[in-house]
Amino acid sequence: MRSCIFGAAALALAACGPSPQSADANAAGAASAGPTSPAGAHATASPSAQPPVMGEMACYGSSGPLIGLGHVLLADGAYHDLDGGNPGHWRYDAAAATITFVGGFMDGQVGQGVSAHGYQIATTSCEPSR
């Protein structure tokens, strides 16, 4: 399983890679590993899996926009609320198509079904702001 965590004290984007358990398998098949995602990790999920879109994310519930859940994803793996406060980090797992928030105001939340269109956190839908 591959997962990457980013942030000020974490690895650089290009250093994100396979878990140590799969290093031998990856070395043997490196030539046929396929394309890499923008975050530098080898794409191993289904062809439709895509890393999350960077920038402002708007979140919606059944009654409409959820102002308090809007957030900004940064390419270095950090995120913050729409006011630039309450920072944390995010981790993308390509194999599971999930985004996990670590620290900050969304600590512990997991977005499922990550695509270029956004992700679901429980019954809340988050998508790139227009």
Q: Where are the domains of the chain?
A: 1-130
pLDDT of residue 130: 80
Cβ neighbours for 119, distance < 8 A, ≥ 6 positions apart: 52, 98, 99, 111, 112, 113, 125, 126
Q: Which residue has the tokens 């878990």?
A: 19
DSSP 70: -
Mean pLDDT value across residues 42-62: 77
Mean pLDDT value across residues 106-111: 98
Contacts 24+ apart (CB under 8 A), 115-118: 115/48, 115/49, 115/50, 116/50, 116/53, 118/52, 118/53, 118/57
pLDDT bin (cut points 50, 70, 90) of residue 107 is: very high
Of all residues in the chain, what percent carry a pLDDT higher than 70? Answer: 62
pLDDT of residue 125: 97
pLDDT of residue 13: 28
Report if pTM > 0.85: no
CA distance 11 to 106: 21
Q: What is the mean pLDDT of the chain?
A: 74
pLDDT of residue 49: 67
First to last CA, the chain: 33
CB atoms within 10 A of CB 26: 15
pLDDT of residue 31: 35
pLDDT of residue 50: 83
pLDDT at 36 over 70: no
pLDDT at 112 over 60: yes
pLDDT bin (cut points 50, 70, 90) of residue 66 is: very high
